[in-house]
């Protein structure tokens, strides 16, 4: 699993990547730069994923395949693996610099999601 995360962390501008249990909000595997609170990111990202799933179901859009939260000093990118959350799925999470190549990170997140789920 750690080697799967290499695919993401080797992209320039990625500060860390994690596999997170979608139901529990607990870190399954992580490669993070110092200063990133992995446990907190995992718990809150999983909580957000659950709420987003419900919002998207309510909106009739189906399940999300990728989300990107842009902030002033960075971004959070998440690909919910198949069946997640609600069925013991995995979230693939990346924490990045603000000027990262989002398309490339998204591609790698999707690849990792295919590999590990």
> Binding residues for another protein, per CB under 8 A?
20-21, 23-26, 39-40, 42-44, 46-47, 50
Helices and strands, counts by H and E, the chain = 3, 5
Residue 6 or 24: the one with the smaller Cβ distance to another protein is 24
Nearest to 116 by CA among 88, 76, 95, 77: 88
User: Encoding tokens for residue 56?
Assistant: 């998207």
53, 64, 22, 90 alpha-carbon torsion, rounded to 10°: 160
Q: Considering the complex, what minimum distance in angstroms separates the CB of residue 108 from another protein?
A: 24
User: Which is closer to another protein, CB of 55 or CB of 114?
Assistant: 55
CB 96 → another protein: shortest distance, Å? Answer: 21
42 versus 92: smaller Cβ distance to another protein: 42
In the complex, least distance from residue 85 CB atom to another protein, rounded to whole angstroms: 9
Q: Which pair of structure tokens corresponds to residue 40?
A: 């907190």
């Amino acid at each position: 699993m750690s080697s799967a995360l290499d695919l993401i962390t080797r992209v320039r501008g990625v500060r860390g990547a994690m596999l997170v249990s979608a139901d529990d909000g607990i870190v399954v595997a992580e490669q993070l730069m110092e200063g990133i609170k992995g446990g907190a990111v995992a718990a809150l990202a999983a909580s957000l994923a659950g709420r987003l799933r419900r919002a998207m179901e309510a909106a009739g859009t189906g399940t999300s395949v990728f989300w990107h939260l842009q902030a002033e000093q960075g971004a959070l990118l998440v690909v919910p693996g198949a069946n997640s959350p609600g069925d013991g799925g995995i979230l693939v999470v990346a924490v990045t610099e603000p000027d990262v190549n989002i398309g490339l990170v998204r591609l790698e997140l999707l690849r990792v999601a295919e590999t590990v789920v």
